[in-house]
Amino acid sequence: AAETPTEFSTELPSPTATPNQFEETLIPSPSTSVSTDEPTAGPDERDPNPQGQNTTIIVQVEAACFPGSATVERMRRDGSVETVPMALLEIGDKVNTGRHKEGHQFSEIFMFGHRIEDEVLNYVDLKLLRGDEHSQLLVSSGHYLIDKNEEYITAGTLQVNDILTDGWMITEVGITPALGIYHPHTLTGDLLVNGIHVSCYTKIMNPKYAHTLLVTHRLIYHLTQYFSFSLKSNPFLNYLNPHRPHLINPITLLHSLVS
């Protein structure tokens, strides 16, 4: 089940906060419910200011992952590759994991830990440099990245001049609000976001243990593939949907602990 913010604060982060002081601020909204089974209204159908109140909210989610604008490389059915924003990903999509040397470069998304399109989160904003290449990564503070020694390190502890896997050096660290909260899980447990090799896991649990505990989710996903059920209509995939709180079962309980 998706994590629900439990702490509310009216204090905004200090403008002089150091890079390691990643405090997300929760601004109450007229409605904080984001999980429904009904289709989400398009941009032109939404009331931009219901009841005359500001509906933009910044939520506190300890381990939320990436905004909807973060990009990934997705394989088309014909084998070609396209770059798409994370907001367009679906269960079953094959995305680049960054494992170029291990023969598992593309892996399928089998579940989402979070998939919230209309909330704003304060993300750790990393500017990176590799030779003549520049990149930027917005990621939640508790999300695990991979350093030059192939060790897991949370985004909130990174500092300027730290070096990540594949030679990316951090040149600037800040905090930037961005729309959307997305947490895709691949079968391999990692993916390439904005060209940066990252894990699919957070500091709530050691990635090795988390990957093992999610074996039930992967099994359900593989069963749906084996029996050739539709990824969009298969009722078994309800168990992999973080926005169905009425499905109280061991699988959703396990998911709440590791994502």
Task: Look at phi and psi of residue 102 and say left if phi exceeds 0, alpha if psi is from -120 to 50, else beta.
Answer: alpha
| Cβ contacts of 56 within 8 Å, gap of 6 or more | 27, 29, 120
d(CA 69, CA 75): 18
Show me where the domains of the chain are located.
56-258
d(CA 250, CA 259): 14
Cut 0.75: pTM above it: no
Length of the chain: 259
CATH class in words for 56-258: mainly beta
What letter represents residue 149's amino acid? N
Q: Are 221 and 184 in contact (CB under 8 A)?
A: no
Neighbours of 56 (CB within 10 A): 13
In DSSP notation, 88-132 reads: G--TT-EEE-S-TTTT--EEEEEEEEEEEEEEEEEEEEEEEEETT
Dihedral angle sign, alpha carbons of residues 251, 215, 204, 89? negative
DSSP lists the bridge partners of residue 73 as 83
Task: Look at phi and psi of residue 5 and say left if phi exceeds 0, alpha if psi is from -120 to 50, else beta.
Answer: beta
The burial class, CB within 10 Å (0-12 / 13-18 / 19+), for 59 is buried
d(CA 100, CA 175): 31
Q: Are 85 and 67 in contact (CB under 8 A)?
A: no
d(CA 119, CA 227): 36
What does DSSP assign to residue 34?
Answer: -
pLDDT tens for the chain, 259 residues: list them.
Answer: 444 444 444 444 444 444 444 444 333 433 333 343 444 444 444 444 444 444 455 555 555 689 999 999 999 999 999 999 999 999 889 999 987 666 568 999 988 888 999 999 999 999 999 999 999 999 999 999 999 999 999 999 999 999 999 999 999 999 999 999 999 998 888 899 999 999 988 877 777 766 667 677 777 766 776 665 444 445 445 545 544 433 334 444 444 444 4
